[in-house]
């Protein structure tokens, strides 16, 4: 695989956001206002070549292609155009796939693109696709291991910002997205953050799914799960994808988990592949700072340790409320930054608010 990349990176502590990087006019693109220094890398391999830049002008000048062709959806010669986004460090390759209901690349190609040494580097590839059943858009995602999850909370915020740029939407806007987890409704706020109606949490054990028997009706709340000989208290919640939330091992109500002390790469896979989770599971390890302030580390199914997980933050607040540890509205600290999560009693929906930022534009020769 050969990788050739040209990047323009701002070294300022707070780089400016991209402004109007896309236009509603067909095949019309303006550049990101980022410039400080450039880096070029080339790694030998015969299967993938990647060219990326945080300035579209740099790509145009270097490759002598017009802005009109840069984000042309009609790919030729195995070229994939993309935009790299992140939501609190949970990073994704966004692909404009609105002209087809089939992803432009395979799951195997997505896994190669997500490789941080031999590809672009990301936690997943997200496709913006035509709407289904009356929705405005559909979203599919391939994880960094090539698997396909039902949905991704941080990913849907990146998706919303991506659509806003593609459609040149200004100010406050909302739209409907069909996902494998059902209908999701994000709303771009005036400050650029995305507020997402994540729907109603699922608690019925067989629908999460988990083989743990329900201990509060059909829900699994503060149940015992033995992992590698250690008994953990867990609550299981689905936000359209499965989550196992733990506030610590068994040993008394006053025991408090210190998430920074966890060896996540060792314990995470043991939860993910536990026999009690037939579809595998995402796992959230939680430290309670106050009834409105929680701290979380996550091991994501198919992606491993990530800097943030939106569905995980939502599921975790549900678990904290059910276990009597927190209020319905909380700030959740993740390694990549905070999310605001609210589980509204009046409609039983979970609402997540947080940022999503464009990082750079790129082309991959597959």
C-beta separation of 210 from 244 below 8 A: yes
- Looking at residue 33, its pLDDT comes to 34
User: Is there a shared CATH topology between the 76-199+359-365 domain and the 205-348 domain?
Assistant: yes
- Looking at residue 251, its pLDDT comes to 74
Please, which residues have CB within 8 angstroms of residue 251's CB and are 6 or more apart in sequence?
none
- Looking at residue 313, its pLDDT comes to 98
As given in the structure block, the two tokens for residue 102 are 């089939």
- Looking at residue 54, its pLDDT comes to 52
Over 33-56, what HEC string results? CCCCEEEEEEECCCCCEEEEECCH
- Looking at residue 111, its pLDDT comes to 97
Please, which residues have CB within 8 angstroms of residue 170's CB and are 6 or more apart in sequence?
none
- Looking at residue 365, its pLDDT comes to 84
- Looking at residue 366, its pLDDT comes to 86
Q: Could you count the other beta carbons within 10 Å of the beta carbon of residue 347?
A: 11
- Looking at residue 256, its pLDDT comes to 77
244 among known catalytic residues:
no
The CATH class for the domain spanning 205-348 reads alpha beta
- Looking at residue 106, its pLDDT comes to 97
In the chain, what are the domain boundaries? 76-199+359-365, 205-348
Q: Exactly one of 114, 152, 244, 314 is catalytic; which is it?
A: 152
114 among known catalytic residues:
no
- Looking at residue 282, its pLDDT comes to 97
Please list the helix, strand and coil fractions of the chain in percent, rounded to the nearest 5, in that order. Answer: 15, 40, 45
CATH 3.40.50.2000 for the 76-199+359-365 domain, yes or no? no
- Looking at residue 220, its pLDDT comes to 98
- Looking at residue 213, its pLDDT comes to 96
Q: Give which of 196, 193, 185 is closest to 136, Cα–Cα.
A: 185
- Looking at residue 57, its pLDDT comes to 45
- Looking at residue 86, its pLDDT comes to 97
Q: Chunk the chain into consecutive blocks of 10 residues (it has 366) and report each block's average pLDDT, rounded to whole numbers.
A: 36 37 34 33 42 45 46 64 97 98 97 96 98 97 96 96 93 94 94 94 98 96 96 96 96 74 96 98 98 98 95 98 98 97 97 96 91
Q: CA-to-CA distance for 166 and 164, rounded, in angstroms?
A: 6
- Looking at residue 72, its pLDDT comes to 53
Q: Exactly one of 114, 158, 244, 309 is catalytic; which is it?
A: 309
């Amino acid at each position: 695989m050969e990788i050739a990349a040209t990047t323009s990176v701002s070294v300022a502590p707070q780089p400016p956001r991209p402004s109007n990087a896309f236009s509603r006019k067909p095949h019309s693109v303006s550049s990101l206002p980022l410039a400080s220094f450039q880096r070029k890398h080339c790694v030998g391999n015969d299967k993938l070549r990647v060219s990326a830049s945080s300035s579209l002008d740099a790509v145009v000048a270097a490759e002598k292609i017009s802005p009109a062709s840069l984000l042309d959806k009609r790919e030729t010669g195995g070229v994939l155009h993309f935009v790299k986004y992140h939501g609190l460090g949970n990073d994704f390759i966004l692909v404009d796939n609105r002209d087809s209901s089939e992803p432009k690349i395979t799951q195997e190609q997505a896994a190669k693109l997500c490789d941080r040494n031999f590809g672009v580097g990301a936690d997943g590839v997200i496709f913006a696709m035509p709407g289904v059943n009356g929705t405005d858009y559909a979203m599919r995602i391939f994880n960094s291991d090539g698997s396909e999850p039902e949905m991704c909370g941080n990913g849907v915020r990146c998706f919303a910002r991506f659509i806003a740029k593609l459609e040149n939407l200004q100010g406050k806007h909302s739209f409907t997205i069909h996902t494998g987890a059902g209908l999701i409704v994000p709303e771009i706020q005036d400050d650029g953050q995305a507020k997402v109606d994540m729907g109603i949490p699922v608690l019925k054990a067989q629908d999460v799914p988990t083989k743990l028997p329900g201990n509060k009706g059909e829900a699994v709340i503060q149940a015992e799960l033995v992992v590698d000989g250690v008994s953990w208290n867990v609550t299981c919640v689905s936000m359209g994808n499965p989550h196992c939330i733990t506030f610590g091992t068994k040993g008394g109500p006053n025991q408090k988990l210190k998430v920074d002390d966890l060896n996540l790469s060792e314990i995470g896979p043991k939860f993910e592949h536990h026999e009690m989770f037939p579809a595998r599971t995402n796992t959230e390890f939680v430290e309670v700072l106050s009834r409105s302030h929680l701290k979380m580390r996550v091991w994501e199914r198919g992606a491993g340790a990530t800097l943030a997980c939106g569905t995980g933050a939502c599921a975790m607040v549900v678990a904290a409320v059910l276990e009597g540890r927190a209020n319905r509205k909380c700030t959740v600290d993740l390694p990549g930054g905070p999310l605001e999560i609210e589980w509204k009693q009046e409609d039983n929906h979970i609402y997540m608010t947080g940022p999503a930022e464009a990082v750079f534009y790129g082309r991959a020769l597959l």
